[in-house]
């Protein structure tokens, strides 16, 4: 506990130093505004929560909501932000880019939100961010897409609570090449998501002295996979798979039937099985295979106090399921991003002396000034390094092995493993 409050204040102090002078100057020059802002302090800070309540993201939306509500409750119990309570203003974006942009507009123009927050699905982020930029509404996304750090968005869009796919994939390569094998065959869905994995991992494994010996793209509407498996080259030492959608269970079952007891090493991304019970029939074949996890779903023997705190606040058991229903499996690998992002918003607002929408630009600057986030109750997934220029956070990645139907962490990739050269400097863009 004490460690966490120390770390939080360390971040806040650093950011506060940078913005303190700016805030004081503004207050002196604008006494009327200052009066306005002090009258405003009783009103809650309104965080527009762009929720995937309906559409293909609904399972994520449900858990992003629970996580965010828990974090906001704790923030309020601890006194809120700058002495003001925090209120989540939820709008359903239907997991739909067009509606996402409408929701952003609603936050800015109708519901008086101070910032927007929460989005997961990349296409919704990409559809919404331009409107947030035009409206100068700080937009905190939790999507793990590379679109923020790639430079395709804008200065008002920030991803400070979850790492991006490029970083995740890159961080896996050293472990895969050193422990599982150097000759990799990739099986991936044949569209942008799979292509990102293909491109990022191919580059990363080559940098480690390994090689991709086979690329097997699967059409997104495919529901039977056996016919693709003979294309796996004989020399393959590791299969890297990132299948998603309803076909995943069939994919795993058919892969198991194809290989029988003698199989190459298998490495996948838990995105395939997020919110799916690993004890489901047909998944036995996964025993002994490896997964990337954003945050370990199963409480580990060396579980931190921060992870305990995080699980308890949301109501999650040691298997990553709801304490109300052990079969209601959470989206544990991703939803910590909402929690951590809300604490970044808090730290940023405190550092900026945020008083109202007129301080939105200062909030962006304060967040850009953040550099490190220590492992703490506020950042239970692990310590982070934030890159203010690319608006992207970097953190540890976990590789877990399925042992007795549970994911046990066998390797923690360091923050540095996931870092790559900057592709943009948003701070050069006007606020």
Partner 1 sequence: MFHRFALVVALICAATRALAHAGEQGFVLLLPTQLYIIGGGLSVLATVLLISVLPQRMAVSLFRPTTIKRWRLARAKSGVSCIGFAVMVGLVFIGLTGPHDPNHNALPLAVWAMFWFGFVTLQGLMGDLWRWINPWTGPWLAIRRLGVRPIARLPRWLGYWPASLSFLAFAAVLLAHPSPSDPDALAAMVACYWVFHFIGMVVFGPAWLRRAEGLGVLLRCYASLSVAGQSAGRLRLGVPGWKIVTGPRPDTSLAVFIVILLAVGSFDGLNETFWWMARIGINPLEFPGRSAVVAQNLAGLGLAVPMLVAAYAMAIWLGVRLIGQGARFAAAFCALAPAILPIAFGYHFGHYMPGFLVQIQYVAGVIADAFGMGPVHVTTGFFNTYATVRAIWLLQAGSVVVGHILAIILSHVLALSLFGTHRKAAISQLPLAIFMVGYTVFGLWLLASPRGV
**Per-residue x/- track, 75-114, partner 1 (CB under 8 A):** --------------xxxx-xxxxxx-----------x---
Q: How far apart are CA 312 and CA 381, in angstroms?
A: 14
Q: Footprint of partner 1 on residues 132-191 (CB under 8 A)?
A: 189, 191
Supply the minimum distance, in Å, between the C-beta of residue 144 and partner 1: 14
Cβ atoms 68, 345 nearer than 8 A: no
Q: Which residues contact 246 (CB under 8 A, 6 or more apart)?
A: 223
Q: How far apart are CA 94 and CA 90, in angstroms?
A: 12
Nearer to partner 1, 117 or 175 (CB): 117
Supply the minimum distance, in Å, between the C-beta of residue 16 and partner 1: 34
User: With binding defined as CB under 8 A, does residue 262 bind partner 1?
Assistant: no
Q: At 293, is the secondary structure helix, strand, or coil?
A: strand
Supply the minimum distance, in Å, between the C-beta of residue 24 and partner 1: 37
Nearer to partner 1, 150 or 412 (CB): 150
User: With binding defined as CB under 8 A, does residue 253 bind partner 1?
Assistant: yes
Residue 99, token pair as written in the block: 């509606």
Residue 371, token pair as written in the block: 């550099």
User: With binding defined as CB under 8 A, does residue 280 bind partner 1?
Assistant: yes
Supply the minimum distance, in Å, between the C-beta of residue 124 and partner 1: 8
User: With binding defined as CB under 8 A, does residue 230 bind partner 1?
Assistant: no
Supply the minimum distance, in Å, between the C-beta of residue 56 and partner 1: 5
Q: How far apart are CA 407 and CA 384, in angstroms?
A: 23
Nearest residue to 329 (alpha-carbon basis) of 342, 320, 337, 338: 320
14, 18, 73, 123: which one binds partner 1 (CB under 8 A)? 123
Q: How far apart are CA 233 and CA 215, in angstroms?
A: 10
How many residues interact with partner 1 (rule CB under 8 A)?
A: 52
Supply the minimum distance, in Å, between the C-beta of residue 126 and partner 1: 11
Q: How far apart are CA 194 and CA 198, in angstroms?
A: 6
Cβ atoms 268, 214 nearer than 8 A: no
Residue 299, token pair as written in the block: 């409480």
User: With binding defined as CB under 8 A, does residue 220 bind partner 1?
Assistant: yes
Q: Kind of pairing, strands 392-394 and 45-51? A: unpaired
**Per-residue x/- track, 303-332, partner 1 (CB under 8 A):** ------------x-----xx-xxxxxx---
Nearer to partner 1, 133 or 282 (CB): 282
DSSP 8-state class, residue 164: -
User: With binding defined as CB under 8 A, does residue 54 bind partner 1?
Assistant: yes
Rounded-to-10 torsion of CA 104, 109, 112, 115: 30
Binding site for partner 1 (CB under 8 A): 51, 53-56, 59, 62, 65, 89-92, 94-99, 111, 121, 123-124, 189, 191-193, 220-221, 223, 244-250, 253, 275-277, 280-282, 315, 321-322, 324-329
């Amino acid at each position: 506990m004490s460690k966490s409050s120390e770390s939080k204040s360390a971040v806040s102090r650093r950011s506060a130093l940078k913005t303190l002078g700016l805030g004081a100057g503004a207050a002196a020059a604008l006494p009327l505004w200052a009066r306005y802002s002090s009258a405003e302090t009783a009103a809650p800070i309104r965080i527009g929560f762009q929720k995937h309540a309906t559409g293909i993201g609904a399972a994520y939306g449900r858990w992003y909501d629970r996580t965010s509500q828990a974090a906001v409750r704790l923030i309020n119990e601890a006194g809120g932000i700058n002495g003001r309570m925090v209120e989540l203003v939820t709008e359903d974006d239907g997991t739909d880019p067009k509606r996402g942009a409408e929701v952003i507009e609603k936050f800015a123009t109708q519901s008086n939100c101070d910032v927007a927050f929460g989005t997961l699905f990349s296409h919704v982020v990409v559809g919404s961010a331009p409107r947030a930029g035009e409206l100068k509404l700080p937009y905190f996304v939790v999507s793990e897409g590379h679109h923020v750090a790639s430079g395709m968005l804008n200065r008002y869009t920030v991803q400070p609570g979850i790492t991006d796919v490029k970083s995740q994939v890159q961080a896996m390569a050293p472990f895969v090449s050193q422990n599982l094998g150097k000759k990799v065959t990739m099986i991936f869905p044949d569209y942008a998501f799979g292509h990102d994995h293909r491109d990022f991992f191919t580059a990363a494994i080559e940098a480690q002295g390994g090689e991709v010996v086979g690329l097997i793209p699967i059409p997104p509407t495919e529901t039977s996979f056996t016919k693709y498996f003979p294309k796996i080259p004989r020399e393959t030492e590791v299969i890297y798979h990132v299948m998603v959608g309803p076909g995943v269970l069939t994919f795993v079952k058919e892969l198991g039937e194809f290989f029988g007891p003698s199989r190459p090493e298998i490495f996948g991304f838990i995105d395939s099985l997020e919110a799916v019970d690993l004890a489901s029939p047909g998944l036995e074949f996964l025993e002994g295979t490896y997964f990337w996890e954003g945050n370990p779903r199963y409480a580990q023997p060396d579980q931190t106090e921060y992870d305990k705190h995080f699980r308890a606040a949301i109501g999650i058991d040691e298997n990553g399921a709801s304490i109300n229903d052990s079969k209601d499996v959470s989206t544990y690998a991703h939803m910590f991003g909402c929690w951590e992002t809300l604490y970044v918003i808090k730290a940023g607002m405190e550092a900026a002396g945020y008083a109202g929408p007129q301080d939105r630009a200062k909030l962006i600057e304060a967040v850009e000034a953040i550099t490190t986030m220590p492992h703490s109750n506020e950042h239970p997934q692990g310590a982070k390094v934030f890159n203010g220029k690319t608006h992207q956070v970097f953190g540890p990645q976990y590789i877990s092995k399925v042992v007795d139907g549970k994911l046990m962490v066998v390797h923690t990739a360091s923050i540095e493993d996931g870092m790559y050269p900057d592709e943009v400097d948003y701070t050069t863009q006007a606020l």
